[in-house]
Amino acid sequence: MDRTTFVCSCEDTMAPDLATIAQGCAGQEIRGAVQLCRQQLDRFRAALGEGRPITVACTQEQAVFEQEAEDSATPLAFANIRECAGWSREGEAASPKMAALLAAAAVPMPPTPLVSLESQGVCLVLGRDEVAIEAAKRLAETLDITVLLSGEVEVTPPPALPFPVLRGRARSAQGFLGAFEVVVDGYAAPAPSSRAAYIWGSPRDGAKSRCDILLDLSGRPPLFPAEAGREGYLRADPADRAAVLEAVLAAQGLVGSFDKPRFVTFQDSLCAHARNRRVGCSRCLDVCPTGAITPGKESVQISAEICAGCGACAAVCPTGAAQYALPPAEALGRRIRAALMAFRAAGGVDPVLLLHAAHGEALIDALARHGDGLPARVIPLRVQEVTSLDLSVLAAALSWGAAGIRLLLPARRPEGVEGLLRVIATLNAATEGLGLGPRAGLIETDDPFSLAEALAETRALSTGWEPDATLPIGTPREVALRALRALRRAAGSTVETIALPPLAGFGRVRVEVGGCTLCLSCTMVCPVGALRSNPDRPELSFLEDACVQCGLCAATCPEKVITLEPRLNFTEAASSPQIIKAEEPMACIRCGKLFATRASVERVRERLLAAGHWMYQDPQRLQVLEMCEDCRIVEATVGGVDPYAGPERPRTVTTEDYRRGQG
């Protein structure tokens, strides 16, 4: 045994079957208790000296156990088997689910990467009336304050202030805590002689102000999208005194160094955003609610300081360039896999996975205390943000034996949910194509009883397939493809291809072969090597498993003969390069050197003839197109090709001609 696990019945308010739990939790020594946090706390203290990691099946008293382990190096993990399993109308049948929760809790999560923010306490207060000045007075003792009034209402100047009051309206702003820059229009200073109301000087547009903290009491629309997620930007309705006070108190604490999670890791070399000034994939740009992602020359740029952590970019990124880090998809996959494997080993059948964030804990708690609790087959697992879940996590969960997946969101949809909806649509298109029907769905509610009703509708879901035990190793794309193929095998499906919705991230490139000149421009911009050339001969091949449907090839193709087809291809051909077009190289008619393809030469010939170019009216001169670059030079110098032998050029019109009326 490599772990000690305490399963407490919480004063016999639930009845965990320790033998069943032990079947699902291989490698864990299961120890029972009735009141571990009080009368039997000595059992926990004794286990601390045994040198093994400990899991406690209780989260309510987590602080008690952590305090007891303060001087110990023993790793601790906690799982809530009471509200999530035991306190339920089906609690007597919930021991397999308890095993699943305990197995998931035992899977270690990697440390959270951090990004540092520095604030010196320079604060710009945006306002329209005396409310902004009163707020600034409260902050003046701790912050370096400047007040910017919009000037739309008259404000009586106080006799004396320890900070400047100016007029101006914020046109735009950018930045984050410690590094804001605000562009101000109508900027003006007050006259010292202002009496009953401020008298403003001459206004100036385009003034810039830099600050660490922005307190917006202007009553105008927010300066940032999803402003609640922008560190250092505090906004309140000036008519709501309680909200203003809350914002002021929050601003007082924003001085010094702060660490925030680096929610997303980004590898720009994998990004399929742009190549050679052609734009391809913009999925993350389309779904980011905070403006943390901006386009770059070849890849997007993600500001860790601005990112609010919804994870929508990671959910839709087809290459794995952007990956959620709280935790990474692979680590979360290991936890989900452990839960599903344990549930099955403990005798559970047809589990439904309920993935939720902090919002879901309150609903599950209320349902356990005041309702029937969760069904015994529903396994709830907490994630940082539901909107960060990508296809690899959901598809792998189904391949590991989940009969269905439900994603719990608030009734008011959070920012960034568009990416999650796209992932669900892609997964359901795949499972329906395999004959399994839709398996993933949203539950959007703030009511615990509505949650119970939605979960009751999953009773008809069953697996009917043997779970795959493959570990989630590799990029999210590789994990997703492996899981979908495992589902196909388990379902006994013979379908070879499945159509997917647009922007799914899987599919093929269709090339009108007759119009392709094998210029190979598409191969030079393909960021994942799906389109490939042959260094030894004119040849274009395609590897479908690598294609992310970024569209760079279609945007670059000079002949416009490339289109995209989102789909899943389960045939062996998808995993090996397939030749799209090949030609024998054309030999120079003068020296015999291989230099081009006949299709490209013929295309140039057609265009020159169609344009009526004077140099190529003589058929003999067209032969120069069939020569290599060296022989063309020789032909131009010794072959009698006169570049000046064209038609007579029009006479140059001079100023004198215009004076004579001949212009």
Cα-flanking dihedrals φ and ψ of residue 35, to 5°? Answer: -145, 70
CATH 3.50.50.60 describes domain 116-259: yes
CA 299, distance to chain mean position in Å, is 15
Report pLDDT for 96: 98
Which amino acid would we find at residue 414? P
* Each residue's pLDDT tens digit, 601-612: 777 777 777 766
> What pLDDT, on the 0 to 100 scale, is given for residue 625?
81
Q: What pLDDT digit, counting tens, does each position of 561-577 carry? A: 999 999 999 999 999 99
Which is more confidently placed, 331 or 636? Answer: 331
Cβ within 8 Å of residue 205, ≥6 positions away: 171, 185, 186, 187
Domain ranges of the chain: 3-110+327-491, 116-259, 262-324, 507-582
- 32-41, 93-102, 291-300, 586-595: the lowest-pLDDT one: 586-595
Same fold, 116-259 and 507-582: no
- Tell me how crowded residue 226 is: count the other CB atoms within 10 A of its CB: 18
Q: Tell me yes or no: is domain 262-324 CATH 3.40.50.720.
A: no
Q: Whose structure tokens read 């990112």?
A: 307
Order the strands of the 3-8 sheet from edge to edge: 28-33, 3-8, 54-56, 76-78
Give the closest residue to 111 by CA, choosing from 261, 231, 3, 2: 261
* C-alpha distance from residue 155 to each of 247, 278, 474, 640 (Å): 22, 52, 62, 87
Chain centroid to CA 584: 44
Position 29 scores a pLDDT of 96
Q: Which amino acid type is present at position 488?
A: R
SS (H, E, C) 286-340: HHCCCCCEECCCCCCEECCCCCCCCCHHHHHCCCCCEEECCCCHHHHHHHHHHHH
Share of the chain above pLDDT 90, in %: 84
pTM: 0.87
- Residue 433 has, within 13 A of its CA and on its CB side, a CA count of 21
Q: Is the bond preceding 327 in cis, omega lying within 30 degrees of 0?
A: yes
Instruction: List the single range of 152-156, 216-220, 610-614 with lowest mean pLDDT.
Output: 610-614
> Pairing mode, if any, of strands 114-119 and 76-78?
unpaired
pLDDT digits (tens, 9 = 90+) for 472-531: 999 999 999 999 999 999 999 999 999 999 999 999 999 999 899 888 999 999 999 999
- Residue pair 133/167 in contact (Cβ under 8 Å)? The answer is no
Rounded CA-CA distance 374/366 in Å is 11
Q: What is the pLDDT of residue 646?
A: 58
pLDDT band for position 644 (cuts 50, 70, 90): low
Average pLDDT over residues 247-276: 96
What was the pLDDT predicted at 550? 96
507-582 under CATH 3.30.70.3270, yes or no: yes
Length of the chain, in residues: 663
pLDDT tens sequence across 400-433: 999 999 999 999 999 889 999 999 999 999 999 9
497 in helix, strand or coil? strand
**Per-residue model confidence (pLDDT) at position 663:** 56
